[in-house]
Structures are given as structure tokens and as C-alpha cells.
Amino acid sequence: MAQLHHFPFLKSFLLVLTTLTCVSGKHFRTTKLGVRNRFTPKTADIQGTHNSEEYEVYNYTQTLDHFNFKTESYTTFQQRYVVNRRYWGGPTNNSPIFLYTGEETDIMGDVKYIGFVRVLASRFNALLVYIEHRYYGTSMPFGSKEEAYKNGNTLGFFSSEQALADYAQIIVDVKKDMSAQNCPVIAVGASYGGMLASWFRLKYPHIAYGALASSSPILYFLGLTPENGYDAIVSKDFKVSRNQKISSESFVTPLTVINATKPTFYAQSTSTSCYNTIRESWFEIDRVALQPHGLSKLSRMPLNTSQDLKGNLESRYDAMAQYDNPADNYLQSFCNAIDGAGEKTYIFDKILAGFAPIYGTSCYQVYDLKFNKHSGWDWQSCTEMVMPMGRGENDTMFQADPFDLDKYSKECEQVFGVTPRPYWAPIEFGGYDIIAWMLALQWLRTLIGWLHNEKPRSRL
Amino acid sequence: MAQLHHFPFLKSFLLVLTTLTCVSGKHFRTTKLGVRNRFTPKTADIQGTHNSEEYEVYNYTQTLDHFNFKTESYTTFQQRYVVNRRYWGGPTNNSPIFLYTGEETDIMGDVKYIGFVRVLASRFNALLVYIEHRYYGTSMPFGSKEEAYKNGNTLGFFSSEQALADYAQIIVDVKKDMSAQNCPVIAVGASYGGMLASWFRLKYPHIAYGALASSSPILYFLGLTPENGYDAIVSKDFKVSRNQKISSESFVTPLTVINATKPTFYAQSTSTSCYNTIRESWFEIDRVALQPHGLSKLSRMPLNTSQDLKGNLESRYDAMAQYDNPADNYLQSFCNAIDGAGEKTYIFDKILAGFAPIYGTSCYQVYDLKFNKHSGWDWQSCTEMVMPMGRGENDTMFQADPFDLDKYSKECEQVFGVTPRPYWAPIEFGGYDIIAWMLALQWLRTLIGWLHNEKPRSRL
């Protein structure tokens, strides 16, 4: 009976492999950070609007390695940053400067799409300075992405510590240029960029008066956070989303230091129907895959294993939860459609019915999820940003897949020729202590401000 | 009349050049940091005693470059550290750990001679962990000092930021080994080591609960402190030291964040006799040097210019002031002897009479004061630790000698093939803001401790 339903499923869920390179078995998922990613539904709500006349784009001649004095460390590259003076109260008022610590993307995307910093700048009369992270966008050492990403030795200068030092160099220079030495700097960022904002505050407290980190998993490192943290929260989202309008904030809260916006409201009831449908689908995919020509029944394009399909589906579920803007309500749409398909509908058809309102009914791409040597975030995941993603047998809506550091490291070595340093980030950037520390500082700032009844100052 | 006095002067003040390399004109003095240096009088009082049975010496396999992921960054070297458990209250009492942040010297010298950390450890039941700074003592990358100091590319990994990261790695490891995760770490250091202690607190607040910096000029960078700061205070010391018992603390106070010990008492009256004698001596040296065979009249060994002699004398005056332990009273002895020589005594004889009780009456070495490619501190001075030393016409007891960054940089390029980054340290480590910041933190700590009435904790 179940088999009869394969063809309708295949007809509409046409899978097109985007690469013919070998895709063998399970590959490691990196954390899916970023304010958008390739699985983000196209209908995602974009906050704010973009007016290119507001922005001035500059390049800063940046030092390649701030902490090393070898000859090549003195090499420079052009780092892009963008200034928006529209909301600024100016230096004579000591109006604040919001330093947007660019994350793993082209900074112009942030300038266009990140609305909350503009809203905040407008409210606090702040100067906006967006700085692009090295090795992203046009901020490429060695002249081009091709050269910069050539191998481990050209990528070697690509680290979060170097990025923070870049921000320090540029913001001090910008303050000087604008005679804004007395204007307090607040670091602001989202996702990995928010981690950077927090860490900028940690490492450069003499430059940053404060930091605002939106949806930033600063504790998602080995030994600090359970490896199933991400998947468990995504799964929980799918449990509570039936017929309930819910903000995406609810799932990021446990990973987040400070949320820029508050969730509108939460679901009050739960349903396991949506959750169970997804969970059962993995086993059905495996069952079909084991049939004669099973993989070709799952996709018109060749799959190496059923994992190619499962990994891509998983990434779409992740994206639906992670980017579930209140206006879009992906999870609600998905789960309502699953339920609407009726209990007796074949499981693949239920899933397809769920995807239809979000991703449409045409073919979906199947991406190669292996570490990609052209991906900056994959390089970072293979060096410092080792954020363990895994889960056990029954703790999520996904199949068991424990995090395996040895295998992870081997894949990094194969792709980048680099060995991760998984225990370094908690030493360099702190574990739970940083949270207590930040809360204490915030309290100190408030108290000092209250005692002195004056505006914050920074003299560097 | 003055000329008649040359020969007695030469007879007793025999100068022996230790190097025959070209010593041309004025060379740049680096700041004379360190808990001792080659100009420190031999009679210097050594605090405390050393019992080798108290110490356990270890090596830690350290990463060459913490902030870079090139293949060579993964190279490791053996970094030495020393543990003294004698005073420790143990992990069950959450007794503190004093992390002695080694400065520009062999760590065993600190272990033997730095008494105040032992006194403090005894008082606070602290574990003592002394960590040797990379590129000093036996903590040499590339297997040996010869290899490590070969050129700018082997020295490139020699920076304060790397040293701080080394300390973080080791202390986290030591805490784990000793099940001392809950024991608060206090960074302690002297001179440059105290700067490191301050900066360790700044950069790793999640690891170091506090810091104690003794005699550490953390603000002696371009644009932060007048370049004549050091020489002016040395000069002032020579003015106030006549017949007055005075602690060496008085002159370091303006450069120091926190002094481990308090000065015993201060001189109440001043005298310009000692100061004036030194000041006039420079012009007399120049006058003699211009005579036929003038330089050979000043020294049995050849001098290239009178500056060779003047620079060495200057360094001895500096050392007498900087290392003027209360028990030794170098300045008092020197100035008393100058005055005792009588006003009509030839100026060189006065100076010699002053030196006699401190450096003895046998020959004094004349050192080459040029940047030395075998000196770790000179490398640091030529990269990040650009601490401008200079003075005007009449602001010190020395001749005018303004700091000249261009010439300084050129000498660095000649000796090490490296260009200084003089503006980096204030960005990386902060200017005046760090002081306000530290005071605020100290106040916060005190307040929190008072509110909670509990011992400090750190969980990393």
C-alpha cells in the first residue's frame, strides 16, 4: 500500500543534485548560523527598507595578522565598511556609535536586510558603522576570494580573534576621523556576528561600552552545551506549532544572551502529529532506499545514499524553525498542512503537503552538505568554531546521530588540510563565566550611570 | 685646570668595551623594564629565600600561534612553568591560585628572587604557578634560542598576545589537573610581567579573577604618556635623595597601577647638587671628547663617540633609581658621596666618588646599547612594546634627546628586519580607559563580595 504512493511523491518532490562530486554517507552539519542561509524560504520577511543614499562605503587598509610579526603578517588587504550617518546626533552630543560586527556574509546584505539596528540607531541617535568580516564579501586578503581560499596557508589568517582586532582598528580610526573619540561604541551583531559583538565587548572593553547580541549561541561549544541543544529546540518548535501563532524567538532564547526583540506570544498547547510525521518519514525513506532502485525512486537525480536526501530535508526543517518570522509562520503553515492532509495520507505526501506553502511545489535542490572548501563558515567550523551538533535515539524528531569529533576532524583535514582546535574557543572566549561577567558588568554600568547621572563615555 | 684632572679619572674609571662591533652615534634606549637588568648593582637586596625543594618544574606542549591556522601555527614547543604548593590551601577550600605572568627573563630567576609573591601566597594560602614567557629561558620555539632568534620569521610568533594566550592555556590545564576549577586565579607580575598580568585580567576576565601589577608602565605608549616620563622621574629622584632615606617606590608610582608594597617614607627636602653634577658632567664629557685624542682620554678602550660613554652612564643612573631598594639606598649613597667630595673637586672625580660605594672601584663595562638581535626585549620593543623614551633641553638631568620614531623604526628594520607597530598596543590593550575600567571592576568585586559575603569563584 505504501509503495503505491511513491510515484506521486516523486513526481512533485523532484530532487536535483547540484553537484556530481562523491557524497558519501553522513557528513557533518555545521551550525546553521547567519541571518539568512540557502535553506531560508524565499518568502522570508525582510525587516526595514534599504535606501542606498544613506550609506557611505569605505575600504580600510587592514593588517593581515595582528598578533604575529612575520614578514607576511604585515601584508595588508582592503577591508570594507559602511557608514550610515542618518540617525547620528553627532560628536558634540557624544551620540553613540553602533558598531555592527559583520558575520559570515557579504556586509551589504546586512546593510540592506538587518532592520533592527536601524530601528535602534534611530531611537538612540546612533552612528551606524557596519564592518565586513575578513574573508567574506569583498574583504579578501590576497586580492581575491580565489587566492584567499586557495589553501590552509592562505586561509590561516581567517580567525575570530583577527576579526575582532580588525574591528578595533577600524572603529578607532573612524572615531578619530569623525572627532568622535568621546562617543561610546556599542557593538551589535546577529548570530555569529552577535557572538563577535559579545566577544568584542569581552576583549576590548576599553573600546566597546556595551554589546547587543541577537540570537548568538556563545555557549555552543564542547562541554558547555548539550550537543542536541539545537535539534532538540527545533524539534520542540515542531511540537508546539500546530495552529498556534508563534515567534521564532521562542526557540533561540536558550542560546541567546540578549534578544533584540521580544517574542510576540507563545503557543499554549502542543501537538505531536507534525513532530511524529517528520520522525516517521526518516524510517520510510530508509525503507524505500533499501528497495531495488530505491534511491532512484526517491529522486530523479542519483543519490549516493538516503542520507543525501535526509540531510537536505533536515536542513529545511532547521531553516523553517530558525527563520520563522512571525509574519511568515512557516511552522504553523507546515504543521497545519500536514494535519490537513488527513491521517490516512501516505507519509511522503503529507511532508510534501507541508512544504508546499513554504517552498512551493516545483523541484527542490539537493545540496551537497559536506564541508565545502569555498565556504568561509566551514573553514571557521573546522578551526575554532567547533559547535557540536548531534543527538541521541529519542531526544529529537531526527534519527540518532551523535557528534563524533574524530570523524569531524578527519573531514576537516580532508577538505581544508586543517585540524580543528575544539577546546580553544571556551578558553579564549569563556564559558558560563562570561555570562555572569556580562550581567555583572551591565549592572555595574547601570549603577555607575545612575550614580553619576551622565552619558556613557569612552576616550579611546 | 679641569684638564689636569683627566688622568686620575681615567685611572680609576677604566672603560672596557665588551664588543668591537660598530657603535655609531646615538642609539635608542628601550625602556629598562625587568625585575633586574645588567646595570642593576650587584649589591641589590634580594627579597626572600629560595628553597628548590618547594618547586616542581614542568613543561607544557604549547601551540606556536593561537590566532592563526596556517600549518606552521600548529607547531608546538615546550613551555616551562613552575608550581609551588607549599602555601596552598587546596581545592576543597577554593584557595586562590597566583599566576605569575613571567616577564622578559628566565623564569627560574623569578622563582628565586621575587619574594613578594611568596609573601602574598603565604598570607592568602595560594598556589603559586610561575609561567615562563615564550622566547625566554628554556621556553624556546623551534628547539633552541639559536633557531628561535634566527630571523624575523622565527621571531614572528613572539608577541604579548601570544604570551597571554599561552598563560590561559596552561592555567586552565593546571586547574583541571589539580581539580582546582573553582579556585580563583589572580594574575601577578612585575614590570613587563605586571603589564601582562593587567592585560591578562583585561583579556581573560573569565579566567583571572583579579590582577596585581607591580611597577608596570601600562600607559607608557605613544600619545598616552609624555616621552620624558621615565627620565624626568629618575632625575627627580636624584634631586630628592640627598641625605634622605627614600623608597624606590616613590619614583615608580606615576607609572604603576597597583604597588605590591608601600614606600617606607619619602624625602622631605630637596637638593640640586647631585642633580646638577650629573647634568654638568655630560657637557664636560663632550668637551673632553672634542680634544685631540679626547675619546681615548675618556676610556682605555676605543669609543666611537662620547655617546657610548654617556649612554652607559645614563643606564647606570637609571638602574640606581629603578632598583633602589630601601636597604641599599643607592641614591642616598651616591649623592652623599658627591657632596662629600667637596665643591672644588673636578666633576669626573665627583661622579666616580658617587659610583664607588655602589659599583665598586674596579673597571666598569661599557655595553653596546644598540638594539641587539639576541635580545628578546629588543624584539618586543621593535614590534609592539614601543615605549617612547626621550626628553627636551631642560626637563631632566640628561642632555636633550627627543624620541624619533622614524629613526627608531629604521634601527629596528636594520637589526631585526621588522617594522614597529607603535599604535597597536593602545588599541589592543587600552589607554587611560583601562585604568578607569580596572578601578571600576575592583570596586564591583568588592561590592559583590560584600553583598554575598563569600569567597571569589571562577568556574573555568
For B436, the closest chain A residue by CA position comes to: A206
C-alpha cell read off for A396: 529529537
B30 touches chain A (CB under 8 A): no
Q: Are residues B431 and A460, on separate chains, in Cβ contact within 8 Å?
A: yes
Which residue has better confidence, B107 or A51?
B107
Tell me if chain B has a CB within 8 Å of the CB of A265. Answer: no
Low-confidence winner among A116-125, A149-158, A166-175, B298-307 (lowest mean pLDDT): B298-307
pLDDT at B404: 96
Residue A254 binned pLDDT confidence (cut-offs 50, 70, 90): very low
Question: Which of A383, A431, A448 minimises the CB distance to B460?
Answer: A431
pLDDT value of residue B329: 85
In this structure, is the dihedral angle defined by the CA atoms of residues B47, B49, B54 and B55, taken in order, positive or negative? positive
Instruction: Indicate yes or no: CB of A459 within 8 angstroms of CB of B427.
Output: no
Asked if A450 has any chain B CB less than 8 Å from its own CB, the reply is: no
Q: Quote the pLDDT of residue A256.
A: 34
B219 close contact with A: CB closer than 8 A: no
Whether B51 has its CB under 8 Å from any CB of chain A: the answer is no
Q: Is A169's Cβ below 8 Å from some Cβ in B? A: yes
φ, ψ of residue B84 to 5 degrees: the values are: -125, 110
pLDDT for residue A257: 32
pLDDT of residue B162: 98
Position of cell 600548529?
A: B74
To the nearest whole Å, the CA of B152 is away from the closest chain A CA by 6
Q: Among B206, B382, B434, which would you mutate to test the A interface (most chain A Cβ atoms within 10 Å of its Cβ)?
A: B206
Directed axis angle between helix A347-359 and helix A306-322, to 10°?
50
Assign 3-state DSSP to chain B and report helix, strand, coil percentages, each to 5. Answer: 45, 10, 45
Chain B nearest-CA distance from A67, in A, is: 6
State pLDDT tens for residues B155-187. 999 999 999 999 999 999 999 999 999 999 999
Mean pLDDT of A73-91: 97
What is the average per-residue pLDDT within B415-439? 87
pLDDT band at A29 (very low <50, low <70, confident <90, very high): low
Residue from the list B159, B207, B437 with its beta carbon closest to the beta carbon of A69 = B159
Q: Please give the Cα distance from A336 to A243 (Å, whole number).
A: 6
HEC letters along A389-449 = CCECCCCCCCCCECCCHHHHHHHHHHHHCCCCCCCHHHHHHCCHHHHHHHHHHHHHHHHHH
DSSP string, A2-27: -GGGHHHHHHHS-EEES--S---S--
Q: What was the pLDDT predicted at A452?
A: 47
* pLDDT at B262 (0 to 100): 37
Where exactly are the structural domains of chain A? 3-33+266-416, 52-216+430-452
Is the model's pLDDT at A24 over the cut of 50?
A: no
Q: Do B67 and A206 touch (CB under 8 A)?
A: no
Q: What mean pLDDT comes out for the span B145-162? A: 97
Distance of residue A261 Cα from the nearest chain B Cα, in angstroms: 28
Partners of residue B219 in chain A, C-beta under 8 Å: none
Quote the CA–CA distance of B199 and B213 in Å, as a whole number. 10
**Residue A296 pLDDT > 80:** yes
A417 has pLDDT over 90: yes
Using the beta-carbon criterion (under 8 Å), do A431 and B153 form an inter-chain contact?
A: no
Does the pLDDT at position B30 exceed 60?
no
pLDDT band at A437, cuts 50/70/90? low
Average pLDDT over residues B415-428: 96
Cβ contact (<8 Å) for B152 and A70? Answer: yes
Distance linking the first and last C-alpha atoms of chain B: 72
Q: Stretch A298-309: mean pLDDT, rounded? A: 86
pLDDT tens profile B364-394: 888 888 999 999 999 999 999 999 999 999 9
Q: Once rounded to an integer, what is the mean pLDDT over residues A387-405? A: 95
The pLDDT, as a whole number, for residue A424 is 97
Task: Identify the DSSP state of B270.
Answer: -
> Closest Cα of chain B to A159: distance in Å?
6
A366: left (phi over 0), alpha (psi -120 to 50) or beta: beta
Stretch A219-234: mean pLDDT, rounded? 92
Mean pLDDT throughout B350-364?
89
Whole-number pLDDT of residue A10: 33
ipTM: 0.84
Widest distance between CA atoms in chain B? 77
User: Residue B108 carries which DSSP code?
Assistant: H
Q: Which three cell numbers stand for residue B123?
A: 598570607
For helices A160-177 and A192-203, what crossing angle results, to 10°? 70
Q: How much is the pLDDT for B50?
A: 58
CB contact under 8 Å between A162 and B67, yes or no, is: yes
Angstroms from B244 CA to nearest CA on chain A: 40
Find chain A residues with C-beta within 8 A of B432's C-beta. Answer: 459
Instruction: Give pLDDT, residue A9.
Output: 35
Q: How far is CA A356 from CA A2, B191, B219, in A?
A: 21, 68, 63
pLDDT tens for A326-361 read 778 888 889 989 988 888 999 999 999 999 999 888
Q: Do A433 and B159 touch (CB under 8 A)?
A: no
Instruction: State the average pLDDT over residues B289-302.
Output: 87
Compute the mean pLDDT over every residue in chain A, rounded to the nearest whole number: 82
Residue with cell 586543517: A418
- Inter-chain touch A69–B156, beta carbons under 8 Å: yes
Contact between A152 and B203 using a beta-carbon 8 Å cutoff: no
Residues B234 and B280: beta-carbon distance below 8 Å: no
Overall average pLDDT of the A284-298 stretch: 93
Q: What is the pLDDT of residue A431?
A: 82
- Rounded to a whole number of angstroms, the distance from the CA of B165 to the nearest CA of chain A is 7
CB contact under 8 A, B155 and A207: no
pLDDT of residue A252: 37
Q: Is the pLDDT of residue B20 over 60?
A: no
pLDDT band at A295 (very low <50, low <70, confident <90, very high): very high
Please determine, for residue A22, whether its predicted confidence score (pLDDT) is greater than 60.
no
Q: Which of A16-30, A430-444, B37-51, B228-242 has the lowest mean pLDDT?
A: A16-30
Average pLDDT of chain B, as a whole number:
82
Residues of B in contact with A68 (CB under 8 A): 65, 67-68, 156-157, 159, 162
Nearest CA in chain A to B65: A68
Backbone CA torsion sign across B165, B166, B169, B170: negative
pLDDT score at A1: 33
Cα-only R_g, chain B: 23
DSSP for B28-73, written as a single string: PPPP--SSS-TTS-TTPPPPS---GGGEEEEEEEEES-TT--SGGG
Which residues in B170-300 belong to E strands, given as ranges? 185-190, 208-214
pLDDT of residue B99: 98
Q: Determine how many CB atoms are found less than 10 A away from the CB of residue B115.
A: 15
Distances (CA, A) of A95 to A89, A233, A350: 5, 39, 54
SS (H, E, C) A280-328: HHHHHHHHHHCCCCHHHHHCCCCCCCHHHHHHHHHHHHHHHHHCCCCCC
CA dist., res. A385 & res. A420, Å (int): 8
Chain B residues with CB-CB distance to A157 below 8 A: 68, 70
pLDDT confidence bin for B248, thresholds 50/70/90: very low
Burial class (CB in 10 A: 0-12, 13-18, 19+), A189: buried
Specify the amino acid at residue A113.
Answer: Y
Tell whether the model's pLDDT for residue A262 goes beyond 50. no
Q: Give residue A394's pLDDT.
A: 92
CB atoms within 10 A of CB B56: 10
According to the model, what pLDDT value does residue A264 have? 38
Residues of B in contact with A70 (CB under 8 A): 152-153, 156-157
Between A14 and A377, the more confident residue is: A377
Give the residue-averaged pLDDT of A189-196.
Answer: 94
What are the tens digits of pLDDT across the range A105-117? 999 999 998 889 9
Superfamily holding A52-216+430-452 = Alpha/Beta hydrolase fold, catalytic domain (3.40.50.1820)
A365-369, B206-210, B326-330: lowest mean pLDDT where? B326-330
| The predicted structure's pLDDT at residue A365 | 83
Share of chain B above pLDDT 70, in %: 77
Count CB pairs under 8 A between chains A and B.
134
Cα(B134)–Cα(B145) distance, rounded to whole angstroms?
11
- Which residue among A63, A430, A440 places its CB closest to the CB of B444? A440
Give residue B264's pLDDT: 38
From A152, A426, A444, residue closest to B69, measured CB to CB = A152
Q: Which candidate, B221, B218, B225, B171, places its Cα nearest to that of B199?
A: B218
The 3-state DSSP class for residue B408 equals: helix
What's the pLDDT score for residue A263? Answer: 37
